[in-house]
């Protein structure tokens, strides 16, 4: 599903945020991405979404080289990816419902189905009672769950989640992970960047560890 | 179609939620257009005054005394046939004397002291305004001077040429100023829409990252610019119309006397439509620019 | 003092970092002031033309023939002493005839046909512009009519009263328009500064939560508004000055002939200073409003 | 140091975010605030900073009733509090250095000392090499550390930290907690809202648990 070859990223100031990364993630895999602060986890995920362009190397997702996509193909590609941003990136001028249903709207889904599916996903994350709130009226954890709902609403082939439980209590975190596992069981590839060792232990999947922008260790977690 | 409906619905929601900020934007756009509209109205009216002045441009063709009627009629016909001539009036010797006495009452003595009427009969030829001061007039006067029965041709060329130059200059200046004001209004509308939407640029990036097509991302911004600009222009036209009504009521009589035009004239329908259309257009363009993504 | 220095340093950094956005704001403010400045320049010049017209308002005092010199001198003295009189010129019978011949060459015959010079000598009295058309003039003319040696007093009161009314109306209209433009410019500056700073309102809240005193929070915003507004106004004055130079060079000769004033006049120093000061003031006020906290 | 009496907060929509809270925190104490997402942790901390005003009840900090403070007193009070916001609240138009030193600047600290102290605090959180970066050029964890540095830079009497380690890896989280402990040892009262049970266990201090805006249990943690 995902293959990176010698992937590197240098931001303006000249330091490698990511360097010579060769990584393969199979279709239907559930992978944790971990490593200290500033290791390059978010950078890797951003490159997978094409939010940033690589400085060197290639990213191949579902057999297609991301750097060769046209603008329209990029849009179409992003619509098949569910992304939970580390800073949520909710649209402040839209309500919870609008923020989530927007991802369906751009797919041209019928209005009635938009409504139904949005409600369903918000129920999964326990926010069905906050449909008409604006993001700034939510607690940190509630905002994070809206971001998760938006990533899952259009049944993506690939879910990329950047620290999706940083603002959630342990019980909720496990619930969210169960949600990810269910989606993963349906064939969706899931990549989760997290610092939460408990969570990684509990879910028990493959862990990719980054350090200073490079792979630090590849460990097959116990099944 | 769906995207269009979506764009309008989104834009409307956004303007409604923006509230005071949107009102400030519309107000500022209106101010820009009020300035432009006010200037256009003023220049339309000044133009009418100048037209009136030029309309009264006359060539006087003095006739020799005791001219046979058929020569006079032939001359009149000749004059009327000229393309640059708008009207011809015959002023007899008696009428010329009467006019002089009316115009210069303190010289009554002079007129009566003269044994016989010294004033010649004349044709007063009114020219088409657009020709007055032009080269064709020179041709006409030159041609007339040699004609049978014509004693003299007087045309206050110097004065008229000067007036024509001034009018032309004024028209040029007005066009330049109108152009500058138009640009200024456009610039203001664009800047205001851009500033209004700039704050929401983050949204565009977010939408792009969610994979929204450009039409979904930019549509609402463009429509929002369109609506802000159009609303501003409509407010402006309304304000100018009100100002016109007020001016016509309170200043009308005074001004009308001076400018010699029966009534102040409002912006033409065409100008109003152009203004409102311009508001919509500039707003939409500004929305397009403002919604241009960072990447 | 520290807070003030801080405010300026911060505002400057902020404008520098805002880059294009700040340039757009300054440009928009400049457009507003250019409109105002252009109008002020136009109306200063029109005012001069009208003054010139009023200056040429004259009362003609026709004298009886064969007036003894001492009566004439006494009359002249009397006229010069009137507070509303600006200048007095004596026109002899000969000069009056010469003028008539020059003004109406086609009536040469009439003049020569008359046995003796029919034109009376006269004093031409120029009035102070501010008095022309006023009630004191009526008093003066009434007083003169009965005087020894005076044959007639002519004063084209109707025409002058009308002109005076028009000038007064025009002045009123100009004041109203200037006021509206001033308000409009102020509104535009305020709106632009407000929109520029609105996006950064979050910062104000953050600063407040850190316990920053108001002077530290609002100072930079107010100074930024001040700088944006002032810069816009300075740009505007510069543009108007350039436009004036261009107009004076290319249109000056034509216009000067028409308006009867030797030269176009630039905005007075006072107007320029008021404009720039207004820019600074409105900008600062807008910054103050924009930085008003949500709470 | 902190005393709340019947403290309640209702946001616009009419639900209690906090209800009848009676809580006492002594001077020099180190207290953890925990509870599920939406329990009211952030609301309580916001009330302590006067970011929100209580709907009912009183908050007394250092003997002074917060609702009776004048605007100037509020400013002066806030300058004695170090606050780590859950969403960081860094000023996007200022650099890391400016964001942190700002808290000293408003105290009228000498420029040289501002510089020295800011550098010191940024070194504590491991960001001395990113002084001139803007917040958006930092990773999530780096931003969070800037927020922590800002809270500590002016040696406050009271530190209120809302989920200060949600974006940090476990090792860094412990380092930050050690920092808080050091500051606490110097006499500063510290209140930390967190979901991280490991951290609470490791630090071993009093825990206040909130649920649906009310106290769920008061547990003296083992010394
Ligand atoms: N826009 C940017 N400009 C400059 N440097 C950046 C930018 N974004 C990230 N970096 C730097 O790149 C490095 C990797 O950042 P990244 O966000 O990938 O880290 P991370 O592993 O997600 O860390 P965290 O766990 O703290 O979120 C960091 O040192 C960061 O400061
Ligand atoms: N501005 C607001 N308007 C309306 N409701 C709000 C607002 N802020 C918070 N709330 C609501 O108040 C409740 C408590 O919020 P609070 O932020 O205190 O929770 P929290 O304990 O900090 O949760 P988290 O662990 O998710 O950060 C939540 O249900 C939240 O939705
Ligand atoms: Mg990250
Ligand atoms: Mg919270």
Q: How confident is the model at residue D51 (pLDDT cuts 50, 70, 90)?
A: very high
pLDDT, average across residues B185-195: 73
- Whether C118 and C64 share a structural domain: yes
User: Is the pLDDT assigned to residue C157 strictly greater than 60?
Assistant: no
**C240 and C122 share one domain:** no
Say how many CB pairs under 8 Å bridge A and B.
49
Which residues lie with the beta carbon below 6 Å from any ligand 2 atom? A 137-142, 167; D 11-13, 17, 35, 37-43, 86
Question: For position C73, which CATH number holds?
Answer: 3.30.70.3040
Q: Are residues C228 and C276 in the same domain?
A: yes
Q: Which of C200, C203, C211 sits opposite D106 (nearest CB)?
A: C211
Would residue B144 count as lying in a domain? no
Does A101 reach chain D within 8 Å, measured CB to CB?
no
The answer to whether position B80 is within a domain reads yes
In this model, does residue C260 exceed pLDDT 60? no
Q: Give the per-residue pLDDT at D25.
A: 95
The side-by-side arrangement of strands in the sheet containing D158-162 is: D81-84, D158-162, D189-193, D30-34, D206-211, D214-219
What is this model's ipTM?
0.78
Find which of B110, B162, B178, B243 to mutate to test the C interface (most C CBs within 10 Å of its CB). Answer: B110
Residues whose beta carbons lie less than 5 angstroms from ion ligand 4: A 139-140; D 42, 86
What whole-number distance in Å separates Cα of residue C275 and Cα of residue C44? 15
- Asked, for residue C125, whether it belongs to a domain, the answer is yes
What pLDDT is stored for residue C70 in this prediction? 84
The answer to whether residue C196 sits within a structural domain is yes
Assigned domain for B155 exists = no
Binned at pLDDT 50, 70 and 90, residue C87 comes out as confident
My answer on whether B82 and B28 are in the same domain is no
C155: in domain: no
Average pLDDT over residues D41-54: 94
B22 and B85 in a single domain? The answer is no
Whether residue B38 is found in the same domain as residue B75: no
Q: Spell out the domain ranges in chain D.
A: 89-155
Q: Which of D71, D91, D105 sits opposite C206 (nearest CB)?
A: D91
Atom 31 of ligand 2: nearest residue by CA position: A138
Q: Which of A129, A135, A138 for mutating ligand 2's site (highest number of atoms within 8 Å of CB)?
A: A138
User: Which residues of C are less than 8 Å from B21 in CB distance?
Assistant: 195, 198
Rounded CA-CA distance B278/B267 in Å is: 15
Q: Quick one: pLDDT at residue A223?
A: 40
Distance CA A180, CA A160 (A): 10
Taking only the tens place, the pLDDT of each residue in B125-182 is 777 766 665 667 777 777 777 777 777 776 655 555 555 665 666 666 667 767 776 7
Q: How far is the centre of ligand 3, averaged over its atoms, from the C-alpha of D140 (Å)?
A: 5
B35 lies within 8 A of chain C by CB: yes
Looking at the fold, whether C192 and C79 belong to one and the same domain comes out as no
In chain A, the percentage of residues whose pLDDT exceeds 90 is 86
The verdict on B44 and B72 lying in the same domain is no
Higher pLDDT, B124 or A186: A186
Residue C294: predicted pLDDT: 39
Using a CB–CB cutoff of 8 Å, tell me whether B134 touches chain C. Answer: no
Interface of C with B in 72-101 (CB under 8 A): none
The per-residue pLDDT of chain D, averaged, comes to 92
Residue C17: its chain D contacts at CB < 8 A?
Answer: 93
Structure confidence by residue, pLDDT tens digits, B109-120: 665 666 667 677
Search chain D and give the residue with CA nearest A46: D139
Measured from the Cβ of residue D222, the count of other Cβ atoms closer than 10 Å reads 7
Domain range for residue C76?
58-131
Work out the minimum CA distance from D94 to partner chain C, whole angstroms. 9
The minimal CB distance from C152 to the residues B106, B184, B254 is found for B106
**Are 3 or more Cβ–Cβ pairs between B and A shorter than 8 Å?**
yes
- Ligand 2 binding pocket mutation candidate from D13, D17, D196 (most atoms within 8 A of CB): D17
**In the prediction, which pLDDT does A221 show?**
44
pTM: 0.78
Residue C104: pLDDT band by 50, 70, 90 thresholds? Answer: low
Q: Return the structure tokens found at D68.
A: 């009776």
Q: Is A34 in the pocket of ligand 1 (CB under 6 A)?
A: no
Whole-number Å distance, alpha carbon D111 to ligand 4 midpoint, is 35
pLDDT (average), residues B43-63: 68
Residue B198 has what DSSP assignment?
Answer: H
- Is residue D137 within 6 Å of ligand 1 at its C-beta? yes
Give the residue on D whose Cα is nearest the Cα of C15.
Answer: D93
Query: Would residue B25 be called left, alpha or beta, if left means φ above 0 and alpha means ψ between -120 and 50 degrees?
Result: alpha
Is residue B4 predicted with pLDDT exceeding 60?
Answer: yes
What is residue D200's predicted lDDT score, i.e. its pLDDT?
94
Instruction: Using CB atoms within 10 Å of the CB of residue A214, give its burial: 0 to 12 exposed, 13 to 18 middle, 19+ buried.
Output: middle
Number of cross-chain residue pairs from C and D with Cβ atoms under 8 Å apart: 49
* Residues of chain D with C-beta less than 8 angstroms from the C-beta of C203: 91-93
Mean pLDDT of all residues in B42-62? 68
What average pLDDT score do residues D25-42 get?
A: 94
Give dist(CA B41, CA B113) in Å, integer: 53
Helix (H, G, I), strand (E, B) or coil at C262: coil
Atom of ligand 1 nearest to the CA of A45: 18
Query: Which ligand places an atom closest to the C-alpha of A21?
Result: 1
Q: What is the pLDDT of residue D30?
A: 96
Quote the pLDDT of residue B295.
37
CA B106 from centre of chain:
42
Please identify every stretch of chain A with a pLDDT value under 50, giving residue numbers as ranges.
219-223
- Going by pLDDT thresholds of 50, 70 and 90, the confidence category of residue D219 is very low
Distance of CA B19 to the CA centre of its chain: 37
Please tell me the distance in Å from D80's CA to the nearest CA on chain A.
25
Same domain, C206 and C113: no
pLDDT at residue D123 is higher than 80: yes
Instruction: Check residue C74 and give its pLDDT.
Output: 83
Chain B residues in contact with chain A using a Cβ-Cβ cutoff of 8 Å: 2, 6, 14, 17, 200, 203, 206-214, 216
Across the range D76-81, mean pLDDT stands at 94
* Position C63 pLDDT exceeds 90: no
**Average of per-residue pLDDT values in chain C:** 75
Q: Is the pLDDT of residue C159 over 70?
A: no
Residue A87 dihedral angles phi and psi, to the nearest 5°: -105, 25
Tell me which range, C67-81, C271-285, D16-30, is most confidently predicted by mean pLDDT.
D16-30
Q: Rounded mean pLDDT of C19-25?
A: 78
**For residue range A42-75, what is the model confidence (pLDDT) as tens digits?**
999 999 999 999 999 999 999 999 999 998 899 9
Segments in chain C forming alpha helices (H): 2-18, 20-55, 69-81, 93-103, 108-113, 135-145, 157-198, 201-209, 214-250, 252-259, 269-290
- In this structure, is residue B251 part of a structural domain? yes
Beta carbons of B191 and C38 less than 8 Å apart = no
- Of B197-201, C171-175, C228-232, the poorest mean pLDDT is in C171-175
D136 CA closest ligand 1 atom index = 1
pLDDT above 90: percentage of residues in chain C: 3
Name the pLDDT band for C112 (thresholds 50, 70, 90). low
According to the model, what pLDDT value does residue C161 have?
59
Three-state DSSP state, C123? strand
Sheet of A189-193, strand order? A81-84, A158-162, A189-193, A30-34, A206-211, A214-219
- C28 and C124 in a single domain? The answer is no
pLDDT > 50? residue B37? yes
Are B187 and B259 part of one and the same domain? yes
Q: Is D203's pLDDT higher than 50? A: yes
Beta bridge partners of C58: C126
Residues B206 and B278 in one domain: yes
CA distance A34 to C226: 50
Most confident of C88-92, C140-144, C212-216, D190-194: D190-194
Q: How many domains does chain B have?
A: 2
Q: Is residue C153 part of a domain?
A: no
């Amino acid at each position: 599903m995902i293959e990176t070859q010698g992937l590197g990223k240098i931001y303006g100031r000249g330091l490698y945020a990511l360097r010579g990364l060769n990584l393969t993630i199979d279709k239907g895999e559930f992978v944790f991405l971990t490593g200290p602060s500033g290791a390059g986890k978010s950078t890797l995920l951003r490159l997978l979404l094409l939010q940033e362009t690589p400085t060197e190397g290639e990213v191949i997702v579902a057999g297609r080289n991301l750097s060769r996509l046209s603008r329209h193909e990029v849009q179409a590609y992003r619509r098949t990816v569910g992304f939970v941003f580390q800073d949520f990136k909710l649209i402040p001028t839209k309500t919870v419902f609008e923020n989530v249903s927007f991802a369906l709207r751009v797919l041209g889904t019928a209005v009635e189905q938009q409504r139904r599916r949005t409600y369903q996903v918000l129920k999964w994350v326990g926010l069905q009672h906050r449909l008409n709130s604006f993001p700034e009226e939510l607690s940190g954890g509630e905002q994070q769950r809206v971001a998760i709902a938006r990533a899952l609403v259009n049944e993506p082939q690939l879910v990329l989640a950047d620290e999706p439980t940083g603002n959630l209590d342990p019980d909720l975190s496990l619930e969210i992970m169960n949600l990810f596992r269910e989606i993963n069981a349906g064939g969706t590839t899931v990549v989760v960047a997290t610092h939460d060792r408990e969570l990684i232990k509990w879910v028990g999947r493959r862990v990719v560890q980054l350090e200073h922008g490079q792979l630090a260790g590849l460990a097959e977690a116990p099944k | 179609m769906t995207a269009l409906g979506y764009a309008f619905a989104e834009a409307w929601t956004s303007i409604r939620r923006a509230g005071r900020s949107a009102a400030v934007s519309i107000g500022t756009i209106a101010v820009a257009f009020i300035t432009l509209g006010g200037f256009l109205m003023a220049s339309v009216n000044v133009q009418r005054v100048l037209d009136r002045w030029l309309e009264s441009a006359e060539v006087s063709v003095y006739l020799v005394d005791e001219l046979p009627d058929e020569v006079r009629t032939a001359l009149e016909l000749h004059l009327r046939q000229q393309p640059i001539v708008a009207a011809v009036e015959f002023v007899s010797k008696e009428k010329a004397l009467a006019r002089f006495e009316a115009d210069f009452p303190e010289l009554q003595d002079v007129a009566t002291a003269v044994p016989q009427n010294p004033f010649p009969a004349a044709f007063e030829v009114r020219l088409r305004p657009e020709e007055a001061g032009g080269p064709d007039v020179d041709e006409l006067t030159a041609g007339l001077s040699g004609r049978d029965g014509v004693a003299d041709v007087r045309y206050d060329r110097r004065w008229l040429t000067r007036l024509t130059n001034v009018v032309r200059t004024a028209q040029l200046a007005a066009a330049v100023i109108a152009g500058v004001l138009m640009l200024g209004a456009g610039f203001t509308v664009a800047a205001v829409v851009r500033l209004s939407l700039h704050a929401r640029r983050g949204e565009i990036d977010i939408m792009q990252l969610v994979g929204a097509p450009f039409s979904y991302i930019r549509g609402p911004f463009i429509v929002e610019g369109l609506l802000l600009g159009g609303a501003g222009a409509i407010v402006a036209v309304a304000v100018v119309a009100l100002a016109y009504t007020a001016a016509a009521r309170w200043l009308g009589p005074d001004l009308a006397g001076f400018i010699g035009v029966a009534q102040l004239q409002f912006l033409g329908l065409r100008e109003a439509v152009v203004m409102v259309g311009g508001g919509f257009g500039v707003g939409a363009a500004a929305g397009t620019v403002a919604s241009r993504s960072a990447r």
